[in-house]
C-alpha cells in the first residue's frame, strides 16, 4: 500500500538511462520516484493519484505518453502529467497542450526547470 501522504513522481520512459537520470535528480531533491519501462507496466502498477504526478515520454514502443494520458483521462483520472520527448514537433506540443499536460520538455532536460515543473504539478494535486 502506498503512503498517500508522501509525494511521489512516476516516470514512464522506455530508455533506462533517462529513467535512471530522472530518478537520481528526484532523489537529490528529496522526492520519491518510481519508474516504469512501459505504459502497460505503469497502468498495471496500482499507482495512486493523490500527491502524485507523472513524467512520461511521448514516443515509446507500444503506447506512448499522449496515448497513456488519454487512457488516464478516459478512466476519469486527474493525475498531472509532464511530457518528455526527444522528437519535438509543433504537432506534438499542441497535442500535449490540448490534453492538459502541465509541462513539456525536450531531451535532454534542464534539471532545475524539471524540478520546478514537478513541484508545480504536485501542488495542483494535493
The per-residue pLDDT for range 94-106, each reduced to its tens digit, is 999 999 999 999 9
**Dihedral Cα 41, 45, 48, 54, nearest 10 deg:** -20
Q: Are 114 and 39 in contact (CB under 8 A)?
A: no
Mean pLDDT of the region 2-23: 89
pTM of the model: 0.93
What is the rounded CA–CA span in Å between residue 117 and residue 12? Answer: 16
What is the rounded CA–CA span in Å between residue 59 and residue 62? Answer: 9
**Dihedral Cα 19, 122, 26, 107, nearest 10 deg:** 50
* pLDDT higher than threshold 70 for residue 3: no
Kindly state the cell numbers that stand for 120.
Answer: 508545480
CATH topology of domain 8-123: Rossmann fold (3.40.50)
Kindly state the cell numbers that stand for 64.
Answer: 506512448
pLDDT tens, residue by residue, 48-96: 999 999 999 999 988 999 999 999 999 998 899 999 999 999 999 999 9
Kindly state the cell numbers that stand for 65.
Answer: 505518453
Q: What is the mean pLDDT of the chain?
A: 93
DSSP state of 111: H
Q: Are 34 and 50 in contact (CB under 8 A)?
A: no
Kindly state the cell numbers that stand for 57.
Answer: 515520454
Can you give the pLDDT at residue 6?
Answer: 87
Amino acid at each position: 500500500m502506498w503512503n498517500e501522504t508522501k509525494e511521489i513522481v512516476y516516470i514512464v520512459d522506455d530508455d533506462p538511462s533517462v529513467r535512471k537520470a530522472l530518478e537520481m535528480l528526484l532523489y537529490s531533491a528529496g522526492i520519491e520516484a518510481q519508474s516504469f519501462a512501459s505504459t502497460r507496466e505503469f497502468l498495471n502498477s496500482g499507482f495512486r493519484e493523490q500527491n502524485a504526478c507523472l513524467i512520461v515520454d511521448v514516443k515509446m514502443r507500444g503506447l506512448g505518453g499522449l496515448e497513456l494520458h488519454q487512457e488516464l483521462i478516459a478512466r476519469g483520472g486527474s493525475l498531472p502529467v509532464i511530457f518528455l520527448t526527444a522528437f519535438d514537433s509543433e504537432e506534438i506540443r499542441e497535442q500535449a497542450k490540448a490534453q492538459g499536460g502541465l509541462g513539456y520538455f525536450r531531451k535532454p532536460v534542464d534539471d532545475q526547470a524539471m524540478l520546478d515543473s514537478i513541484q508545480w504539478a504536485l501542488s495542483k494535486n494535493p
